[in-house]
Amino acid sequence: MANDVPVLVVGAGPTGLLLAAELRRRGVRCRLIDAHAAPLHWDRATVIHPRSLEVFEALGLVERFLAAGVEQRVARLHSSGAVLGEIDLALCGSRYGFNLGLSEEVTESILTEHLRTHGGDVTRGARLVDLAARGDGVRATIERDGAREELDARWVVGCDGLHSTTRELAGIELAGHDIPDPWAVLDVTLAGWSEPYEANYAYLDDVPVILTALPGRRWRVYLRPTASDSDLVTDAASTLARYHPEVRFEDVASPTRFHCHTRVATRFRAGRVLVAGDAAHVCSPAQGHGMNTGLQDAFNLAWKLALVCRGDASDALLDSYEAERRPVAETVTAEGDAAEHAHTIADPAERRARDAALRATFADPASRHHEAIAEAELDVDYGRSPIVAGDAHPDVGPGARLPDTLALAGARDAVGPVRSPATGARFLHELAHRAGHTALVVGGADATPDALARVARDVGRAADERAALLEATHVVAARDDAPQAWPRLAPRDAERIASAGDAVVLLAVRPDGHVGLRAERDHAAALAAYASRVVRGRAF
């Protein structure tokens, strides 16, 4: 007799843990299995980017991560004994103007505890061995302790890594190529280190080396070894000595060689099977995007899968997961290949050209800003998604992430949002930290309270009819004569949203913080049409 569960999640790395916890937070039962008998005690991923910290804030976890990790505020690049430039993450526009250094096993432990608070856990030593379509679901065969169990799931999500059994059983190809030059990694203490500690350092020399800061004044060192049997400490020290001859490598731990790949799944969905994280895409570790991209896959997929499992949306909604996340994976892998090429250039003339191009990039303010946004993973836009709609806008349009910098002044509401860890100020995005959509009715600097109230009433009635999708509605004003109960948006920020001073704009903010709908007129009808688009999973 098979067991029954709405969702089977395969693989308890960061992607699978986040997905399972988010499904349970939304009231969807799921089972999470992992082939390993116990959590890994050491893993290679160390950098949590600002966008992932925003995700953790939405889950109420960010303070735990900040307490456990170390802030990495800049990324500095070197070559031929000189500094080429640096990425200052304070420029990225996130309330978290830094990467966070934290080894992956700690990330997994925090997410595991978070899953348990929502009634879930990991079934370990459980290996998926077969999948078979069965009516309106999938029958999964799981092997554990020499015994086999059958489980009927409506949906299966493979978060089981590069060698994903889920992906292979679903017949999904992982297209791309292997990265020919191997990598290596080790943890060390750098005795005599005199540079700022809250940073990452890349050295593009004969032996490329990347240093990422970890808690306890430790470093994770990534390098390209000189030979298959070379001493990794000697390799790394040969490059670092050019810049810091006084530094000594001490307390070396976990020296490991590994091979990398540039691959993206040809599909992220095959019937009732989906893939996420490394099961869907793998890239060079040079920029630290692998784990972070997987976390954002899970955050994107969870709210959609929950709506489908609860019967509130068609399963066509899940096609938007691939439509939104596969282009991100293609961008990340392409940028990883470009970084690989930059790291491994051997010809002296080509190196000089590379170094000149990097210096020019870091000398230009616009380019520096762009690099910071890309490093923070804040350059993701879902404007071409089939489930976003409404009026175009250069800053806060359909598919855009709701910006961090839209400040609230003297706001009073029942949400009790988290205050910015940097300033204690409050921002518009904090009103939308919810499991469901949030409707924001935002007035321009000259929009009257009566105009806002009329739109709010219409939107409220439309929202009541779509309670499964919309969780809350807030009216946000810029004028001082608005009711005190309404959150107040700084006038300069109201100008960034409204196309005219007297405009009233409706923003439907998705659970992942991206704008699903922007409407400047016929607000209630636009909201109804948007809700139908989400429920149906496509334009109509």
Q: What is the mean pLDDT of residues 191-206?
A: 93
What's the pLDDT score for residue 484? Answer: 87
- CA angle, corner 188, sides to 182 and 192, nearest 5? 125
pTM above 0.85, yes or no: yes
Cα 319 from Cα 316, distance rounded (Å): 5
What's the pLDDT score for residue 415? Answer: 35
What's the pLDDT score for residue 383? Answer: 96
What is the chain's length?
A: 540
Of the two residues 501 and 20, the one the predictor is more confident about is 20
- Residue 395 φ then ψ, to 5°: -120, -45
Tokens at 305, concatenated: 């899968």
Q: Which domains does the chain have, with CATH numbers?
A: 3-46+103-177+262-343 (3.50.50.60), 183-259 (3.30.70), 389-536 (3.40.30.120)
The percent of residues in the chain predicted with pLDDT above 70, rounded, is 96
Alpha-helical runs (H) found in 227-309: 232-243, 290-309
Tens of pLDDT, residues 306-333: 999 999 999 999 999 999 999 999 999 9
In this predicted structure, the answer to whether residue 418 has a pLDDT above a threshold of 90 is no
Nearest one of 290, 299, 267 to 16, comparing CA atoms: 299
Cα 248 from Cα 244, distance rounded (Å): 9
In this predicted structure, the answer to whether residue 219 has a pLDDT above a threshold of 70 is yes
Nearest one of 59, 22, 45 to 99, comparing CA atoms: 45
